[in-house]
Structure 1
Amino acid sequence: MKIVTSPAKLMNVENSTDLLKSSTPRFIEDAALIQSYLKEKSPKYLSELMEISTKLADENWERNQKWKSKPTAKESAPALFAFTGEVYRGLDAKTLDKASIDYLQKNHRMLSGLYGLLKPSDKVMLYRLEMGRPFEFEHYKNLYAFWREKITEQLNSEMKKGEILLHLASNEYGKVIDRKKLNHTVVDFDFYELKDGKLKTIVVYTKHARGLVVRFCAETNAQTLNDVKSFNYEGYRIDEDKSTDTKLVFTR
């Protein structure tokens, strides 16, 4: 079983761990190529591309100037610990034991607009480049065009026959996986909150729940879809009526 999540805009490379030996991202040369084009872009361009404030654009322009493919330990952190957004608050890797971290190293992958596909131990620097932004370079219209085949092939190469892919990424990032060429069943997830007798999707809770599912899988050493169906953290329970073989629906 493999699990994919989105990265997070919020990052902290001061986070680290003794439970993982740091590694170099599989697609670091591709990341360096993208970064070579990104580095040339002005703060104004970055502000418009990513719809961010002038202050954030200046900050990310500086990050682009400092970025390198072989960062020091001080300049980088393992991806699992570097991302600190809502998904990763739900996952809360810093409180997991070694067995759980080992499980994630084997099974968990993070999609990235810059790095493509990351293992938990892969060293990353501070960056911001969302997959869905219309960033054009060379003959590529966007990052999907650059990454889709590479990421799909890499997942196929890492997965054994009959393994399933738990899609806990956002739609923006999940679109980079070519499901027609992926030789494995993809399982999607929906999370609903029961409010005033109605089921509602609340984005921040959905992000948090995605991280909780990853944590649950790690802590329980989940190996099958039935194992995942037992997810029950923070009041969630599977809705068997709404769930199918390729979509699990959890409510609370």
Structure 2
Amino acid sequence: MKIITSPAKLMNVDYSTDLLRSTTPRFIEDAALIQSHLKHKSPKYLSELMEISTKLADENWERNQKWKAKPVTKESAPALFAFTGEVYRGLDAKTLDKNAVSYLQKNHRILSGLYGLLKPSDRIMLYRLEMGRHFEFEQYKNLYEFWQEKVTEQLSSEMKKNEILLNLASNEYGKVVDRKKLNHKVIDFEFYELREGKLTTIVVYTKHARGLMVRFCAQNNAKTLNDVKAFHYEGYRIDEGRSTDTKLVFTR
């Protein structure tokens, strides 16, 4: 099976590991093209595009000036460790053993507004460019238009016949995959909290649970849907009544 997650706004490139041999992102030339346009955008433009503060806009303008397709080790990190948002706190890759990291290298892919599709070992620099932002460049009206065919074809090329795709990405990122052209079964996920007798969705917990699910699959060498249904970290359990053939629901 293959597993997709969203990237994270929070990043850190200070970490290095011997468990992964660094690789270059598959779409690095496309990333360089996007970055060549981003580099000339003012902090004010970045602030409005991504709805961020002036301070963050200045910070990301500086990142755009420093970005390069072939970064040195001290200014980059493998994607699996570079993202540090809530999904990746749940995944907690730094505490995984060699077998679990190898599992992720084979099965886990990270969607990205800048890099398109990343393997855990792909070395990346600090950046910020959400897939859903209205970023126009050349003939493209947005990043979906630029990435959808490329990402879908790449994912499809990496998947074997009858292999399933676990979609643990947000709606913003998940829709860059064209399901009609993927020709593989996609499994979506929902995570609920039981509060005062009612099931509710809490965004930060959902993000954390997505990371926990990726971690669970890696630690247990998950290969089938039944393996995935056994997920039980931090009190979650499968809700068979609410789950369907294409959606797994977990509650706690």
- The 5 Å alignment of 1:98-109 reads 98-109=98-109
Query: Equivalent pairs: percent with the same residue?
Result: 84
Report the equivalent of 1:243: 243
Q: Given the alignment of the two structures, is residue 4 of structure 1 paired with residue 4 of structure 2, yes or no?
A: yes
- Give the Å deviation of 1:119: 0.2
Report the equivalent of 2:62: 62
Report the equivalent of 2:121: 121
TM-score under structure 2 length normalisation:
1.00
Q: Given the alignment of the two structures, is residue 143 of structure 1 paired with residue 167 of structure 2, yes or no?
A: no
2:239 counterpart letter in structure 1: D
In 1, the alpha carbon distance for the partners of 2:16 and 2:30 equals 25
How many equivalent pairs are there? 252
Report the equivalent of 1:79: 79
- Give the Å deviation of 1:17: 1.0
Report the equivalent of 2:131: 131
Report the equivalent of 1:191: 191
1:148 counterpart letter in structure 2: Q
- The 5 Å alignment of 1:175-190 reads 175-190=175-190
Q: Secondary structure at the match of 1:4?
A: strand
- Give the Å deviation of 1:150: 0.1
Report the equivalent of 1:28: 28
1:245 counterpart letter in structure 2: D
Report the equivalent of 2:227: 227
In 1, the alpha carbon distance for the partners of 2:246 and 2:48 equals 37
Q: Given the alignment of the two structures, is residue 51 of structure 1 paired with residue 51 of structure 2, yes or no?
A: yes
1:231 counterpart letter in structure 2: F
In 1, the alpha carbon distance for the partners of 2:15 and 2:135 equals 29
In 2, the alpha carbon distance for the partners of 1:41 and 1:21 equals 34
Q: Given the alignment of the two structures, is residue 152 of structure 1 paired with residue 137 of structure 2, yes or no?
A: no
Q: Secondary structure at the match of 1:74?
A: helix
2:116 counterpart letter in structure 1: G
Report the equivalent of 1:15: 15
In 2, the alpha carbon distance for the partners of 1:54 and 1:227 equals 46
- Give the Å deviation of 1:65: 0.2
Q: Secondary structure at the match of 1:57?
A: helix
- Give per-residue Cα distances to partners, 1:71-92, cap 9 Å, x unaligned: 0000100000000000000000
In 2, the alpha carbon distance for the partners of 1:28 and 1:145 equals 17
1:198 counterpart letter in structure 2: K
5+ residue gaps, structure 1: none
- Give per-residue Cα distances to partners, 1:204-252, cap 9 Å, x unaligned: 0000000000000000000001100000000000000000110000000
Q: Secondary structure at the match of 1:180?
A: helix
- The 5 Å alignment of 1:155-174 reads 155-174=155-174
In 1, the alpha carbon distance for the partners of 2:64 and 2:250 equals 39
In 2, the alpha carbon distance for the partners of 1:217 and 1:124 equals 24
TM-score under structure 1 length normalisation:
1.00
Query: What's the Cα RMSD here?
Result: 0.3
- Give the Å deviation of 1:16: 1.7
